[in-house]
Amino acid sequence: DPKSILQNKNIDFVVPGEGEITTKELVDAIEQGGNVSEVKGIGYKLDSEVVFTPARPFIENLDVLPFPAWDLVDIERYFCFPTFNIFYSSRQYMSVFTSRGCPYNCIYCHKIFGKKFRARTPENIFQEIEILCKKFNIKEIQIVDDCFNLKPERAKKLCDMIIDSDLDIAISFPNGVRGDLMDEELLIKLKKAGTYKINYGIETGSQRLQKFIKKNVNLKNLQKVITLTNSHNILSHGFFILGFPTETREEVQQTIEFARKSKLNTAGFFALS
């Protein structure tokens, strides 16, 4: 909660939402003695009162954003950190967002990037990946979008660019993808591009709860996608949530049985919070 954060006497400003443009404008206003009240998308204290300026619209063209300044970070130190996931192909990995926003209405998920899907172009994404691999010796790219495969043709074009390049990288999707949007052509291209693991957000093995949580995934079709994923030698992992409102013990067991029988390589179960 931005308002409660500003109650801390050590904090002067908050930037709710996307901060790339807002933060620069705020810093410029402070350095140049400008009026911070004219900066959209911030909160601050004025005479002991918390004040918020009008919200800033989401950034429509993500390609205009500069790449992170990795040269300011000692990346080698991150390679030495212990990892909680034994299935990473390399400790020398980096996370990449290729899009923001998700148009779906799952009741349990965050909405910090809004409901409109905003995607970077394949050319822009490839340029970032190429810099990470060639300049910073990154061996694995972890794509952490909320809905990477919402636009399959965009995803396929990115795969083609990686396949046609001289990059030798591993690719994974630790944040999960929509299984009901996956097709075999994309799976083939993902494998050729270096994908070794795909996480699927399944959430529940109950078709009733699928409708209740507004995920609305057809579980029979999803089983076919998991089998197809495995057939192309890509590891499949499933995310599941236990404790949804109205969930019965029988439905909990349905979820466990789905994970067990669906041919997933691994599965993770989380309590709803």
The DSSP 8-state label assigned to residue 228 in this structure reads H
Contact 240, 268 (CB under 8 A): yes
Tokens read off for 38? 């004219």
What local confidence, expressed as pLDDT, does residue 12 receive? 94
What local confidence, expressed as pLDDT, does residue 85 receive? 56
Do 21 and 155 have their domain in common? no
Summary mean pLDDT of the chain? 94
pLDDT at 86 over 90: no
Do 179 and 267 have their domain in common? yes
157 Cβ neighbours under 8 A, 6+ residues apart: 122
**Cα–Cα distance for residue pair 260/52, rounded to 1 Å:** 49
- Does the residue 75 lie in any domain? no
Percent of the chain surpassing pLDDT 70: 96
When mean pLDDT is compared across 59-63, 86-90, 191-195, 246-250, the lowest value belongs to 86-90
- Does the residue 137 lie in any domain? yes
pLDDT at 174 over 60: yes
Do 33 and 90 have their domain in common? no
What is the tens place of the pLDDT at every residue in 176-197? 899 999 999 999 999 999 999 9
What local confidence, expressed as pLDDT, does residue 78 receive? 79
Total number of domains constituting the chain: 2
pTM of this prediction exceeds 0.85: yes
What local confidence, expressed as pLDDT, does residue 79 receive? 80
* CATH number for the domain harbouring residue 93: 3.80.30.20
Mean pLDDT of 86-98: 80
How many CB atoms lie under 10 A from the CB of residue 236? 21
What is the tens place of the pLDDT at every residue in 209-219? 999 999 999 99
Containing structural domain, residue 156: 81-271
What local confidence, expressed as pLDDT, does residue 91 receive? 77
- Quickly state the pLDDT bin for 89 (edges 50, 70, 90): low
Which residues is 95 bridged to in the sheet?
Answer: 142
How many CB atoms lie under 10 A from the CB of residue 187? 19
Chain length of the chain = 273
Radius of gyration of the chain (CA): 21
